[in-house]
Structure 1
Amino acid sequence: MESTPVAKMNFGKSLLVPSVPELAKQHLTNIPARYVRPEQESPVTYAGASIPVIDLQKLISGDSMDSELQKLHSACQQWGFLQVINHGVTPSILEDFKREVIDLFKLPMEEKKKLWQQEDSFEGFGNSFVVSEEQKLDWNDMFGIMTLPLRIRKVDLFQKLPSNLRGIIEAYSNEMKSLAMIIVCQLAKALRIDENEMRELFSDGMQSIRMNYYPPCPEPHKTIGFSPHSDADALTILFQLDETEGLQVRKDDIWVPIKPLPNALIVNIGDMMEIVSNGVYKSIEHRAIVNSNKERLSVATFSTFNLDSELGPAHSLIGPNNPPIFRRVVVQKYLQDFFARKLDGKSYLDVMKVEARNGES
């Protein structure tokens, strides 16, 4: 099958919207109507549960490898989210990246405008998946950028970045790539998938980074920082830059807040990994809420499989006693269709299920 050149692909464009940090600077007592969510679920959540914590060093070496692997397997089955400690990412890189991201969001508006989203892309400053002037907006500012492989980068956007940020993005994206590969190989081991099959899928995979800034909000109970969603990718690694809580995971129809641990990274299963695991692992819906007196900053790194590879349940997992519940499609086509459908609210995971094939053109 001939694939569309990556340079011409659209992984999710968005209409330009007002800058939320600029709104926050106006010291409003009421948020604009476009941010008000009358249908929003109550922010009351269950704080008695917490997502599992995985020690990566125990997972890859030592006497507790088997028990930590089982712990990882259960976390991905039951939660789809976990916090990773002793992850091996160089502390100085995390600190330098944190500083540069904070400085990026502090840029004057005139400087930010040079890095604004274009009409045909999500990359740059702006928001995600805004498709109409009537659409309700999230209370956040984001900066998105494609980082790997090098051939898909927007060179002109990289050249406009502050030089210090440009340098640290290189180091950070490579550390995230290495960590993601370690984790997915452990997932393959837990699922009893051929590790080479997983490595092939993941080698030269696509990586994008989304930096999120949630300013204080005068009416946090009326809006949302990031609307409920699951991730299209295989694996997401979230680096929270401060201790402000805001990320919540839907568990058994209850929103559970995630309290970020010091020096930990938050990892979640994406839709692609649910497909590869043939439904064993779950891509879980999550959201971000805001509060009235604290800002929150985070960086999400999205890792997908190789754009030219075929996405579907792992061949080494499927057999007479485990028939595929998802169909197969080239990764690039999957992403194009995902972003096209995400905008109308239809779950693409449902579309990917085998029984949905008859209804698809």
Structure 2
Amino acid sequence: MAFAPNVQEMVRSNPLQVPETFLVSRKEEDEPKSTAEVLDLSSKIPILDLSLLSREHKEELNKLDQACKEWGFFQVVNHGVATELLQEMKDATAKFFELPLEEKNKIRMSGGREGYGQAYAISEGQTMDWSDTLILSLYPAQSRDLQFWPTAPNGFRETIEAYSSEVKRIGEELIRSLSTIMGLEKDALLGLHKEVLQALRVNYTPPCSMPDKVLALSPHSDTTTITILMQEDNVTGLQIRKEGKWVPVKPIPNALVVNVGDALEIWSNGKYKSIEHRAVPNESRLRISYASFLFPHTDAEVGPFDHMVESSRIYKKLKFGDYMAKAIKGKLDGKAHTEMAKIGS
């Protein structure tokens, strides 16, 4: 897509340049009024222990239920992924993005949703996100399009494989816990995933000389069941919309951030919240983030479970594949796609 500029190269050639196509008007009233307000909300984002959830620890399951109802976001610790593997994934990814552009362009996106480039570059003249991406389909393994998998740096493919396999394990454990707190059989929710559909999106966000005027990732909710994110340990960029304000999700070293996706919101009839979130750039520091998306099977029915409907049914029943097809037609746009899944829309 000729109209999608490479942000990394643009910053490399002129760090002060911010083309008009990237400028957005961020509403002042959405930004928290004070540092104290930000820190207070940010410090309340729940932290859950996966080792306790996996053992069906009652108190931890209650915390998960509250986190999904009140926040739609939480951080997970004691997840069992070796610190060395997390670091290896970060190191190998950084080396990939340091490669010459012509090398990275060997796996450039070409009309589809996989490969290297600018995601959601839908039409010429649209406002662009201040980030470059690498998007790969991971599971089921037969869905992989290996022509889009990086061949450099050496060993990167194997590292992606090892990291993603661990994320899949964590995702399945969390989906079992979600099934339990929703009053279903432990493996019922996982049954709607047959083989878990899993994709990876790496976001490369260079520094920006006008960080308040651009977005690294436009506000949106995820179409997933859940999303599992690895952040940089020392650069904050992810923000969630809470009480009408944008609140930063401060990184906890080696923790993973998990958020409720649209499918879970629909199954729970809106009890669990698929929260709008965005990413902002830093004025002086590079940020790389790693979002792993876990989806139901395309043939799975998403619609409120009968026992989750307390008074009235908010969402209609539809095939997840149909929901997904509608959602990915446009640029990221807040909660627009969950609105179209509501009864009467």
| TM-score (structure 1 length as normaliser) | 0.87
Q: Would the aligned equivalents of 1:193 and 1:314 in 2 still touch at CA under 8 Å? A: no
Shift of 1:343: 6.4
Corresponding residue of 1:24: 11
- Alignment partners' CA distance in 2, 1:343 and 1:300: 15
Give the secondary structure class of the aligned counterpart of 1:172: helix
Shift of 1:196: 3.0
Structure 1 counterpart of 2:323, one-letter code: Y
Alignment of 1:25-44 (within 5 A): 25-37=12-24, 39-42=25-28, 44=31
Give the secondary structure class of the aligned counterpart of 1:290: coil
Corresponding residue of 1:230: 221
Q: Would the aligned equivalents of 2:233 and 2:253 in 1 still touch at CA under 8 Å? A: no
1:192-247 deviation line (CA, Å, top 9, x unaligned): 12323212012312111000111111111111111111111110000113410111
Corresponding residue of 1:134: 125
Sequence identity percentage: 36
Q: Would the aligned equivalents of 1:16 and 1:117 in 2 still touch at CA under 8 Å? A: no
Corresponding residue of 1:206: 197
- Alignment partners' CA distance in 1, 2:72 and 2:2: 31
Structure 2 counterpart of 1:105, one-letter code: F
Shift of 1:342: 5.3
Structure 1 counterpart of 2:326, one-letter code: D
1:278-297 deviation line (CA, Å, top 9, x unaligned): 21100000011112111111
Corresponding residue of 1:150: 141
Of the three residues 262, 277, 283, the one matched with 1:286 is 277
Corresponding residue of 2:245: 254
- Alignment partners' CA distance in 2, 1:212 and 1:90: 22
Structure 1 counterpart of 2:316, one-letter code: R
Shift of 1:60: 2.8
Structure 1 residue runs of 4 or more that deviate by more than 3 Å after TM superposition: 159-163, 321-324, 341-346
Give the secondary structure class of the aligned counterpart of 2:149: helix
Q: Would the aligned equivalents of 1:242 and 1:296 in 2 still touch at CA under 8 Å? A: no
- Alignment partners' CA distance in 2, 1:279 and 1:193: 17
Structure 1 counterpart of 2:19, one-letter code: P
Shift of 1:83: 0.5
Shift of 1:161: 5.3
Q: Would the aligned equivalents of 1:16 and 1:127 in 2 still touch at CA under 8 Å? A: no
Q: Would the aligned equivalents of 2:232 and 2:251 in 1 still touch at CA under 8 Å? A: no
Structure 2 counterpart of 1:211, one-letter code: V
- Alignment partners' CA distance in 2, 1:182 and 1:74: 18
Of the three residues 58, 65, 79, the one matched with 1:73 is 65
| TM-score (structure 2 length as normaliser) | 0.91
Corresponding residue of 2:35: none
Q: Would the aligned equivalents of 1:15 and 1:132 in 2 still touch at CA under 8 Å? A: no
Q: Would the aligned equivalents of 1:342 and 1:348 in 2 still touch at CA under 8 Å? A: no
Q: Would the aligned equivalents of 1:207 and 1:303 in 2 still touch at CA under 8 Å? A: yes
Pairwise CA RMSD: 2.1
Q: Would the aligned equivalents of 1:205 and 1:307 in 2 still touch at CA under 8 Å? A: no
Q: Would the aligned equivalents of 1:341 and 1:348 in 2 still touch at CA under 8 Å? A: no
Corresponding residue of 2:260: 269
Shift of 1:263: 1.2
- Alignment partners' CA distance in 1, 2:288 and 2:54: 30
Alignment of 1:25-174 (within 5 A): 25-37=12-24, 39-42=25-28, 44-45=31-32, 46-50=38-42, 51-61=45-55, 65-118=57-110, 120-158=111-149, 160=151, 162-174=153-165
Gaps of 5+ in 2: 33-37
Q: Identify if the C-alpha distance between structure 1 residues 348 and 132 changes in structure 2 by more than 3 Å, giving closer, same or farther.
A: same
Of the three residues 169, 185, 209, the one matched with 1:194 is 185
